[in-house]
Chain A
Amino acid sequence: MIWSGKRDRAFGEAIRPELARMTTPSPSAALRERILSDRAAGARIILPVERNAGGFPVRYLVAAVAVIVGLVVLPSRRASRDDVGNAQPVVLDSFFGSVVYAEQPGSAPSLPAAFPVRPERLHAGTLRYRRVFSDSLEHVTKTVESVLSLTADSSTGVAAWRVTRIDQERSSGPPVTSAETLLVRQKDLGLITRAVHVRPYTHWKGINIEQRITGDSVNGRMTLDDIKGMRPIARRLPSAYAPYLSDAFAPVYLATVPLSARWQGSVTLLGWAVIPKDVLRPVQLRVTGEERVRVPAGTFDCWRMTISHSGGVIDYWVRKSDGIAVRLVEPNPPPGGGGERVVTLVSQSGM
């Protein structure tokens, strides 16, 4: 292969000593003091630790079992290079980009707030989406089958939509299932409650997020399936960033907004809010044109849009007839490495 040629190797070896001698900062007493002070004040951070830290014997055992399974139980799949050894870390992706890596924004959105002007345009039904991730070599690395449903419900006597989204992720690693359930008020689509469950989640068996949104605050807790204890969620939601939107609701939200040829607006995705940097994720939405788009669910006349956020720009198509998401293309989705993420509407019932 051209990229592993002798010239590269020679150059790499030539610069290695100089790379190793690069000037790096020295650990300071101030940093030491900050760590100990924060720790003494109750700061807690969950680290991405390997489940069997340094456990080479266990790794070898797992590898041996995988080989045996591959040779004996699954001979028809022997040619595949995707096995347990190539398992990739789980990365949560959201419809409008990666919420999990969101950064606390420095200033409020500059575009007009995209409040739901016509919430009555939402109807009960089910949408099925397929997300396909490919790497920089255009190999499919992961697919996610997503089912989004809206059903009429109520919360303390208030008419609400129960929004559920179940994602089944398939990749070379273990299958991942995530489920998000929301209750939103029908009259203004304000968030009431949110529950997220992901299994497995990175190096844990599963993670659970429970949120209740009251006034300008989100409160709740995070738990991990294999670790006792919980982390509280208590964050303020500044009005300057409204309207707040949960990821599960994103594909249908623009049904409630009167889109036009030069429309633009902003919404803020609500993160899991466990850590300060994962609370707010403002996104800017702009209509950039009109296109006819063909997806598995059919051929539709669409508004072509861009979704701008701190991580980049996403191309987005929604149906002109009802604002439902039809297609989305995100270049270089997390965790990086080039490639793209393509989301398409596969089928629909109701709505």
Chain B
Amino acid sequence: MTATARNDRLPSTPRSDAELVTLVAGGDLAALGGLYDRYAGILLAVAYRLLMSKDDAEDVVHDVFVGLPEAFRRYEERGALAGWLKRVTVRVALSRLRRDEVRAAQSLDASLGAPQRDTAAAIDLESAVAALPPSLRAVLVLKEVEGYSHAEIGDMIGISVAASKVRLHRALRALRRQLEEE
């Protein structure tokens, strides 16, 4: 058992989110481990859907949890912790996605016209989503899977509501094309 593992197990009595937040803000590693056990699953799923890479998604979740103690010192409990954690994760994932997005969006029209895929492989929805340019995939996932409004998506990505709608349209159109070609 490693040095950190010795101290990161919570007592058998489940703690509330509020208690964990207070403990994590105070630097309690056991509480941070407890939060990981409770929320890493949904946060990893969010990050993975945005990035479509297990390694990148794990890096995002890693960064989120490492940064939580300082973030919690400014956290004001007014909503569900899970929702707050998801928004933070989305923001961190988007910042990582932007690097790829610039590259991919450079030939956005071209990529829409010729989807990036192995023509020999069967195209299902998941691979079609993965083949979308990151800028379109982000809006699709945030809107259709995570249920954010276009205003929230625009705020998170840094685009207008209209641009968010345009991207969703393009994403759906690209998906439809790929699935029809299957």
Q: Chain A interface (Cβ within 8 Å of chain B)?
A: 1-4, 8, 11-12, 15-16, 18-20, 22-28, 31-40, 43-58, 85-89, 91, 98, 101, 103, 135-137, 139, 141, 227, 310-313, 331-338
Contact = CB atoms under 8 A, between A and B. Distances in A.
Contacts of A335: 94, 98, 101, 157-159
Interface residues of B, number: 85
B8 interface: yes
A contact patch SS: loop
B4 A37 contact: yes
B29 A36 contact: yes
B181 interface: no
B172 A141 contact: no
Contacts of B71: 46-47, 49
Interface of B: 2-5, 8, 29, 32-33, 36-37, 40-41, 44-45, 48-49, 54, 57-58, 61-71, 74-80, 83-84, 87-88, 91-92, 94-95, 97-99, 101-103, 105-106, 108, 125-126, 129, 134-135, 140-141, 143-145, 151, 154-163, 165-170, 172-173, 175-176
A329 to B, nearest CB: 13
A32 B41 contact: no
Nearest to A31: B58
Given A31-B61, A336-B135, A137 B68 contact: no
Given A35-B32, A136-B163, A8 B172 contact: yes
Contact of B41 (A26, A37, A336): A26
A214 B87 CA distance: 40
Contacts, number: 229
A229 to B, nearest CB: 9
A3 B174 CA distance: 13
Given A8-B169, A36-B33, A52-B78, 4 more contacts: A89-B155, A331-B105, A331-B106, A335-B94
Contacts of B134: 336
A275 to B, nearest CB: 10
A40 B66 CA distance: 10
A141 B77 CA distance: 33
A310 to B, nearest CB: 7
Contacts of A38: 62, 66
B61 A27 contact: yes
Contacts of B75: 49, 53
B103, B105, B126, B154 — which one has the most chain A CB atoms within 10 A of its CB?
Answer: B105
Given A27-B40, A36-B4, A55-B76, A47 B70 contact: yes
A46 B87 CA distance: 15
A91 to B, nearest CB: 6
A55 to B, nearest CB: 5
B144 A56 contact: no
B146 to A, nearest CB: 9
Contacts of A18: 125
Contact of B95 (A25, A32, A48, A53): A48
A137 B163 CA distance: 7
A63 B51 CA distance: 33
Nearest to B65: A35
Nearest 10 pairs of A and B residues by beta carbon: A54-B79, A3-B169, A27-B40, A45-B67, A335-B158, A24-B45, A47-B67, A311-B102, A36-B4, A336-B101
A85 to B, nearest CB: 8
A9 to B, nearest CB: 9
Nearest to B79: A54
Nearest to A16: B144
Given A53-B84, A137-B163, A311-B103, A8 B168 contact: yes
Given A35-B65, A47-B64, A20 B40 contact: no
A172 to B, nearest CB: 8
Nearest to A32: B36
